[in-house]
Amino acid sequence: MNSEQGRFRRLIVRAAGFLTLLFTVHCSLFTSLLPAQQPDTVTKPLLPGQDTTRAVTDTAAARADTTGALFDTTGHRPVTAADSARLDSLRARRDSSPAQRYLALEKLREIKVLVAPPLDAPGPGPPLSRLVFTRDSMDWAHASTLSDLLQRVPGVFLWRGGWLGQPEYPNFEGRGATSVEYWLDGLPYLAAGTDSVGVDPSIFALSILDRVEIERWPGLLRVRMYTRNLDRLAPRSRIAVSRGQSSFARYQGSLERKTRSGLGFMIAGDNLSVPTIQGFRQRYDNTSFLVQGSYVPSPKWGVLLQGLRSRPDRDPTLDAAGDTLTRGIFGGRRMDWQLRGMWRADSSGFGPRADVVFGRTTASDSLMPSQTINSAGVIVSLRRPTYSAGASAFHRSRWTSTDLRLNGGWSPVGGAALSGEAGYERHDGGRTSSWVGLRAGTRLLLGLEASASLRAGKIVAAPSVLTDTAQTVRDWQLSVAWRRPWAELEGGLAHTAAFAPQPFQPYAGVPVLTPSAGTDWLTARARLTPVPWLSLEGWVSDPRKATPDGLPPRHFLGSGTIRTKFLRIFPSGTLDVELRIAVEHWSPGVSGRDAFGDPVVLPAATYFRSLVQVALGSFQFFWDRSNLTETLNGYVPGLPIAGRPSEFGVRWTFAN
């Protein structure tokens, strides 16, 4: 009991210190931003040829739905000119009243500033090729980790090691630990450290991300993550604090600032602490920090430097007999740096562009010496309203020395698009990978959409494993969808070639995944919104011919959501309430093979999960509860979820 009380006190002291530091920085920055009181002003319209640097432009990407459709509005506001009346002889004094502070902040929030454009700006793409989550949709998506977002894709089965803090590797269409690629701000997030084969997405802090795009290829998911990128003169801050079962704690905070001169900085932190529950889960602690500095004085050029640091520390999990079920990460450390110089020929967003990028990744833990991967490369592209083309060349100091890629897109008529990519990689040991990927799609009448994709070539799935050789892939997928505001239906048929997947390194109890034969995949997804405040949605995946190791033969995920603003009672729209319950079910399957080659049976299971979330403006309260029926069969045999774990807390985003 004393140890639990001591841990609780340390967590409280840590949270108080972090919030005090962040509040101090807030106050100092806000005070420096407040202008001295100005004479009375009158509104005067902007004249042709007048300097536009004083014009206030408001461009708001209002929202992005999960199909990736963006809605953008642009407006120009008048500028203020000094009154010609005689000024008072007294000097202007700073007014620190709350009303004046609020008005000053509102003016700063309307002023747009230059920001670094995305390193991998997409060109025209066909429909049904990606899912998009913005910052707002992530807050309301019932997602505690990046893995929860990946679970929205039909065919994804998560290897959850239990509740939060344990590994959460996705297995997409039986391709194992390498079935998902991760890209952070345009650069690949390479597997390194304790697990140099796959990347555990649970280590990413959603709080530092501003946007997530999930590209769907047959047999492969490509996850593009973009960090927070403030485009307003007013600073932006975000604080989140949550607690949960058995002294579970999470603390998040971020501060962003941009200036008229083009200078900007951002710092974000996330601390997750999960204590031990005897017989169910082991201790886990991870502190992530993202720091970024940028200088973008012109729409045509700029520089950016950022670093992402994480320190996952996880104890191993043992079964009743003392056998290891999951390997631990003792004192894990990882640091990823990115230095980027950018050039654009045209400030409109179109035309040629070039970027020179340097990267450095270092990873280690208490049982493994440090690994260092240095990289350098150049990316060039041309963007036009109806087409795009790009190329990149990178050299890396470890595992993959050469990485060459081409990509392009073309939209000859509205609603139809073609896109493609080609790649070549040279790996250690004289191994090579080469592939092409093609997509085509169109929007038809009556809300119908259709798309097709193909990926073929020879792939080295795990370059860090010197015995892993290139495998031939010939995968294809056909999809058709029907969309209406009140309903949506999508069906897909995919084929993946025979493949030898890499096992998930942290799971010592399932060290082998049997090579799979060619498999056909039937998927279906549906959404029904009979009234604006009620939504029912779900997907089902069913592999045919043969079911690969590592996922169940039939898998279903569904949810029902009530979300309302009670506009008849609160016309301002300040209040927002969400009630959601989700259910996941799968039939019995085989997780893989043990050390003796015997199958590890995955029993059938059904999980329920609920969410209550209330927002008052930018202040949000949430309560997320898992495993409502206390199901004992886990996602990974031997690793159940303990009881009905919950997380409750608040998020607050504000400008000061």
Instruction: Note the pLDDT of residue 317.
Output: 85
Q: What is the DSSP letter of 135?
A: H
CA dist list (Å): 342 to 294, 300, 355: 11, 8, 5
Render pLDDT for 167-223 as a digit per residue (tens, 0 to 9).
999 999 999 999 999 999 999 999 998 888 999 999 999 999 999 999 999 999 999
CA distance 573 to 564: 10
Q: Rounded to two decimals, what is the model's pTM?
A: 0.85
Mean predicted confidence (pLDDT) in 481-489: 96
Q: Are strands 284-298 and 249-258 parallel, antiparallel or unpaired?
A: unpaired
Name the average pLDDT for the chain: 85
CA distance 535 to 274: 33
**Do the Cβ atoms of 603 and 574 come closer than 8 Å?**
no
175-201 in b/e burial notation, b at 16+ Cβ within 10 A?
bbbbbbbbbbbbbbbbbbbbbbbbbbb
Instruction: Note the pLDDT of residue 7.
Output: 53
pLDDT confidence of 14, banded at 50, 70, 90? low
Show Cβ contacts of residue 165 under 8 Å, excluding neighbours closer than 6 positions.
202, 272, 274, 281, 283, 284, 286, 314
Render pLDDT for 447-462 as a digit per residue (tens, 0 to 9).
999 999 999 999 999 9
Show Cβ contacts of residue 32 under 8 Å, excluding neighbours closer than 6 positions.
none
Instruction: Note the pLDDT of residue 621.
Output: 96
CA distance 358 to 119: 13
Instruction: Note the pLDDT of residue 342.
Output: 95
pLDDT at 385 over 80: yes
Render pLDDT for 604-637 as a digit per residue (tens, 0 to 9).
999 999 999 999 988 999 999 999 999 999 999 9
List beta partners, residue 301: 298, 343
Render pLDDT for 465-481 as a digit per residue (tens, 0 to 9).
999 999 999 999 999 99
Query: What's the Rg (C-alpha) of the chain?
Result: 26
pLDDT confidence of 319, banded at 50, 70, 90? confident
CA distance 159 to 168: 5
Render pLDDT for 556-601 as a digit per residue (tens, 0 to 9).
999 999 999 998 888 888 899 999 999 999 999 999 999 999 999 9
Render pLDDT for 543-558 as a digit per residue (tens, 0 to 9).
998 889 999 999 999 9
Render pLDDT for 237-276 as a digit per residue (tens, 0 to 9).
999 999 998 789 999 999 999 999 999 999 999 999 998 8
3-state helix, strand, coil in the chain (%, to 5): 10, 55, 35
CA dist list (Å): 471 to 198, 500, 515, 550: 17, 8, 11, 19
**Do the Cβ atoms of 505 and 513 come closer than 8 Å?**
no
Reading phi first (left if > 0) and then psi (alpha if -120 to 50, else beta), residue 630 is in left
Render pLDDT for 273-314 as a digit per residue (tens, 0 to 9).
998 877 667 889 999 999 999 999 999 999 999 999 999 999
